[in-house]
Structure 1
Amino acid sequence: MDNLMGLLRLHVKKGVNLAIRDVSSSDPYVVVRMGKQKLKTRVVKKNVNPEWNEDLTLSVADPTLPVTITVYDKDLFSADDKMGEAEFKIGPFLEAVKIRHQLGLVPEGSVIMKVQPNRENCLSEESQIVWSKGKIAQDMFLRLRNVECGEVQLQLEWIEVPGSRGI
């Protein structure tokens, strides 16, 4: 793990207008992947607008790897149904973390960078990278792909690890 740059905390906030995969609702959960790492949120029963409010932490060694978010519907008697996926790169976020040290004292809530939605990312609206409570944070609304509807709201936060190589 000498390659560790730091930790990326994903605060998986909620799903909005997720697809219905059971009779009238779904039992959604989120799987986050980056490289060989795979993390899961808990299942929220019978809810297409679930609030997970869960923190998942990824170790970042290769900043070029995309982070993939897949939403599934938990089924008891068959394979879980896929409810869409989204992918994003952490490059812009890491750029903001990198320049943070050159910014000196910035006021709470300052916007460091803005990321526009485009074909390369799954953002459904502009995403702002801000200085918040002494850390760099980024809120994202991700539009799920390969599904009729649904978005997932996340917040990214960078965690410096003592002894890691940093960014």
Structure 2
Amino acid sequence: MENLLGLLRIRIRRGVKLAIRDVCTSDPYVVIKMGEQKLKTRVIKKNINPEWNDELTLSVEDANLPIKLAVYDKDTLSFDDKMGDAEFDIKPFMEAVNMGLKDLPNGTIITKVLPSRQNCLAEESRIMWDNGKVVQEMCLKLRNTESGEVELDLQWIDLPKFCLLEGSNSVHATS
């Protein structure tokens, strides 16, 4: 944790036209992985257009690592079925965070990331200023499946820098 750059809050908003894996629907949930970290959303029962609005937080030590996303159908009596996967790069987002921007009007677009063969974006993704923070909205097209997209938002959380004062047993935050 010494190399911790900060925290990345990922809000998994919703799935759109996800693949059917049960008789006529699915019970989807999302798994996010970055390096050794693995987080997952709650299961939404019988819905191929689920609204999760779940917030997951990753500790970022290396901004060059891709974030991998997979959607699964929860099954009770067998292994969960994969409903598709995607991955995305946070380098453009981190470049915007590292600009050190302050006091921009809400909704100011800092930069845009266009869909390409190198990413899973279904449409243009905007990195914007929102209520004093850099945020990114994205819609990912799922791979290895017949259909489906996942909409999510990124938000960076800076951590206060801590130092141990000499001759003291207490830890103080510094800015």
Shorter-chain TM-score category? over 0.9
Once the two structures are TM-superposed, the CA of residue 105 in structure 1 deviates from its matched residue by 2.9
Give ranges in structure 1 of 5+ residues lacking alignment. none
Match of 1:28?
A: 28
SS in 2 for 1:95: helix
Match of 2:50?
A: 50
Once the two structures are TM-superposed, the CA of residue 104 in structure 1 deviates from its matched residue by 4.2
Q: Kindly provide the amino acid, as one letter, of the partner of residue 35 in structure 1.
A: G
Change (3 A) 1:133 1:148: same
Task: Give CA deviations for 1:56-101 in whole Å, capped at 9, x if unaligned.
Answer: 00000011100000000000000000000000010000001011x1
Match of 1:153?
A: 151
Distance in 1, matches of 2:94 and 2:19, equals: 32
Task: Give CA deviations for 1:111-132 in whole Å, capped at 9, x if unaligned.
Answer: 0000000011100000000000
Q: TM-score, normalised by structure 1?
A: 0.95
Q: Kindly provide the amino acid, as one letter, of the partner of residue 58 in structure 2.
A: L
Match of 2:171?
A: none
Match of 2:7?
A: 7
Match of 1:84?
A: 84
Q: Kindly provide the amino acid, as one letter, of the partner of residue 37 in structure 2.
A: Q
Match of 1:63?
A: 63
Task: Give CA deviations for 1:15-57 in whole Å, capped at 9, x if unaligned.
Answer: 0000000000000000000000000100000000000000000
CA RMSD after TM alignment: 0.9
For the Cα contact (< 8 Å) 2:103–2:132, is it kept in 1?
no
Choose which of 93, 103, 118 in structure 2 pairs with 1:105: 103
For the Cα contact (< 8 Å) 2:65–2:89, is it kept in 1?
yes
Q: Kindly provide the amino acid, as one letter, of the partner of residue 77 in structure 2.
A: F
Runs of 4+ in 1 over 2 A off after TM superposition: none
Give ranges in structure 2 of 5+ residues lacking alignment. 163-175
Count of matched residue pairs: 162
Choose which of 131, 138, 141 in structure 2 pairs with 1:140: 138
For the Cα contact (< 8 Å) 2:28–2:71, is it kept in 1?
yes
